[in-house]
Structures are given as structure tokens and as C-alpha cells.
């Protein structure tokens, strides 16, 4: 056994002891939760419940309608209003990504489970594996080490996380191991066709209207495709979400581009920026330079005290600089 492997096993054993000793466990995930955030949150929730633990699953923005098909989604809270004796943070590149509920923590969370390369290891115990395609995949791997059962509801939720973050097994980090994980989750009772349909194929009419308005504003230049979603568009179609309604995944189909961006304007001079990139381009470093983070091919940042036009100008300039530098290598 190598030293590194010894350290990993020891950390897993320590985490197992903490979970075994806990009675009520707080589980947090990130703001504007996606399928991996919610699938991981609820998957771990069901595994802990099956082992006799009381859980407090919390997402600052609750559960979007898209993922209300997941078992246990009605149990998700948007604030921490109970006491707990163990805190676990999931799928957050940094602690502020968990939003206001993270302010209830007296210190670092006990467990930090994530797959973002930019995660600094903000927990007392950190299970951060950037090579994983999703946080749900990591949780699946950790369940035996934590002595937690894989129940059918847990499998359903975890497979949603895997499917969502790989866009239906289409991203470049979809490995043979990812497919094996999916097969095992299906063997445990997860319904892949149902999950795929709900997580990837369904959109509200308002979201489609938002897409139409934003796509009319799309631009293409120098291998970058981008668009902006001003407050005026969201108000015009009645869209109340904080993100782009997954429009970024539509932009990535543009053949002439390698890097893709969406700028979403919020109130109080705040702009949410999302990057996506084809293999060979690293957008995580750009996101970090703006106080954000993420993966090499998928990252984001929240810019404050800035107008939409200013954010567009500054971020595009930095993105072009990165691409030009990469071409010169």
C-alpha cells in the first residue's frame, strides 16, 4: 500500500467514524443547483436515512421544477433552521458557492465532497477528485467506505447526477468507469430512460422563450460564441430563475466555436458568467481570475458591482487573451 493510498483509506475511515457517531447530518450543495448537485444531495440523503440517520438536505435555491421528479425532492430546504452534529458540503468548488446556508457553519464543514479542479480543500476532511465526471460518481464510490447502503432511491438520484454532468454520457470525461458506475446504479433500480428524459429533454415554455430571446443576441468571433441575458429579457418572458435555463448547452453545438459564454444579468449590478470549452481549452483558470472556478471545460463566476456591458467586455478580453496564448504554445 502506498502512502497516498494509506492516507486516503485513513481519511475514509475517519469520515466513516464521524458519520456513525452523528445523529442529525446537514447536507449542503451549491446555489442554482444542477442535476449533479441535487442528485448528489438526495443520493447521500437516502443512503444516510437508510442507515438510520436524520438528515437536513439544503439548497439555497431549493429544487428547480426540472428535478422535482427525484425521490425526496420535496424534503429539500432552502435554509438551515435546525441543529445538526455533522456538516457535509457537496459539489461546491468553494464554500461561498453554497450560498447563505453556509453562513450557519461554525467553521469548516466536516466533509467536503467535490470534483472541481479548483476546489481548495475547505473541509476538515476533503474528498476532491477532479478526475471524476460528477460528484454523484464520487459518492457512489464512497458509500461502501462509509458503510452506507445503495438503496433504489439513492441509485435513482445518483444516476441523475451522473447523467446530468456528462450531458447523457457525451462529455470528454465520460470514461469506462463512468459507464460502469451507471450500469451498477441501474442494477440497483435506477431508471435511466426516465432520468434522461426529465433531466435533459424537458424544458418549460418560459425557458424556451428565454432561449429564443437570448439566441437572437448571440455573437460569434475568433472561435468564441456568446450571448447575454439582460434583466429586461427575463422580465419580458417571466423567467424567475438565476441561471441560463441550460442555454449554454445549446451554444456548445455551434460548430465554428471552441469556447462558449453566457452572461446573465442579475439585480444590484451582478452578472453570472458561464464558460464551456471543447477539449484542449482551459476555462477554469479564466473563471478563477474573476473569483470563480470549475472544471477545465466548464466553469463559472459571479461578478459584482459591474454592468452587463462591462462584464461582457472584460470577460471576452480575458478569454481571447487565453485563447491567443494557447495558440502560440
Residue-level pLDDT, tens digit, the chain, 329 residues: 233 554 566 799 999 999 999 999 999 999 999 999 999 999 999 999 999 999 999 999 999 999 999 999 999 999 999 999 999 999 999 999 999 999 999 999 999 999 999 999 999 999 999 999 999 999 999 999 999 999 999 999 999 999 999 999 998 899 999 999 999 999 999 999 999 999 999 999 999 999 999 999 999 999 999 999 999 999 999 998 888 999 999 999 999 999 999 999 999 999 999 999 999 999 999 999 999 988 889 999 999 999 999 999 999 999 999 999 877 65
Angle (nearest 5°) at CA 169 between 274 and 144? 100
Q: Which residues of 152-167 are buried (b: 16+ CB within 10 A; e: fewer)?
A: ebbbbbbbbbbbbbbb
Q: How far is CA 188 from the centre of its chain?
A: 24
Asked if 48 contacts 90 with a C-beta cutoff of 8 angstroms, the reply is no
Q: How many Cβ atoms from other residues are within 10 Å of residue 148's Cβ? A: 22
| 3-class DSSP assignment, residue 110 | coil
What is the set of domains in the chain, with CATH numbers?
Answer: 3-201 (3.90.1640.10), 205-328 (3.10.310.30)
Asked if 133 contacts 174 with a C-beta cutoff of 8 angstroms, the reply is yes
pTM of the model: 0.89
Residue with cell 444579468: 265
The arrangement of strands across the sheet holding 298-304 comes to: 219-221, 224-229, 259-266, 270-277, 298-304, 293-294
Angle between helices 176-187 and 152-165 (to 10 degrees): 150
* R_g over Cα of the chain: 20
Amino acid at each position: 500500500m502506498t502512502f497516498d493510498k494509506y492516507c486516503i483509506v485513513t481519511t475514509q475511515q475517519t469520515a466513516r467514524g464521524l458519520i456513525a457517531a452523528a445523529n442529525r447530518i446537514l447536507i449542503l450543495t451549491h446555489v442554482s443547483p444542477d442535476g449533479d448537485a441535487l442528485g448528489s444531495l438526495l443520493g447521500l440523503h437516502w443512503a444516510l436515512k437508510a442507515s438510520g440517520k436524520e438528515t437536513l438536505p439544503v439548497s439555497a435555491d431549493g429544487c428547480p421544477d426540472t428535478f422535482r421528479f427525484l425521490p425526496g425532492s420535496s424534503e429539500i430546504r432552502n435554509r438551515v433552521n435546525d441543529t445538526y452534529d455533522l456538516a457535509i458540503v457537496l459539489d461546491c468548488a468553494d464554500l461561498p458557492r453554497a450560498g447563505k446556508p453556509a453562513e450557519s457553519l461554525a467553521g469548516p464543514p466536516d466533509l467536503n465532497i467535490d470534483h472541481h479542479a479548483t476546489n481548495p480543500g475547505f473541509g476538515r476532511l476533503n474528498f476532491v477528485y477532479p478526475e471524476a465526471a460528477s460528484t454523484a460518481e464520487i459518492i457512489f464510490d464512497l458509500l461502501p467506505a462509509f458503510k452506507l447502503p445503495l438503496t433504489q432511491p439513492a441509485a435513482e438520484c445518483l444516476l441523475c447526477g451522473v447523467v446530468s454532468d456528462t450531458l447523457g454520457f457525451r462529455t470528454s470525461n465520460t470514461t469506462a468507469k463512468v459507464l460502469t458506475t451507471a450500469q451498477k446504479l441501474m442494477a440497483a433500480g435506477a431508471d435511466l430512460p426516465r432520468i434522461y428524459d426529465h433531466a435533459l429533454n424537458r424544458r418549460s415554455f418560459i425557458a424556451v422563450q428565454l432561449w429564443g430571446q437570448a439566441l437572437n443576441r448571440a455573437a460569434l468571433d475568433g472561435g468564441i460564441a456568446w450571448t447575454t441575458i439582460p434583466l429586461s429579457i427575463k422580465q419580458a418572458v417571466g423567467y424567475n430563475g438565476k441561471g441560463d435555463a441550460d442555454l449554454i448547452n445549446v451554444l456548445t453545438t455551434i460548430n465554428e466555436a471552441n469556447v462558449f459564454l453566457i452572461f446573465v444579468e442579475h439585480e444590484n449590478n451582478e452578472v453570472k458568467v458561464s464558460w464551456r470549452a471543447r477539449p484542449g481549452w482551459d476555462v477554469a483558470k479564466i473563471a478563477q481570475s474573476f473569483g470563480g472556478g470549475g472544471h477545465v471545460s466548464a466553469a463559472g463566476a459571479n461578478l459584482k458591482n459591474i454592468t452587463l456591458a462591462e462584464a461582457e467586455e472584460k470577460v471576452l478580453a480575458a478569454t481571447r487573451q487565453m485563447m491567443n496564448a494557447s495558440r502560440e504554445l
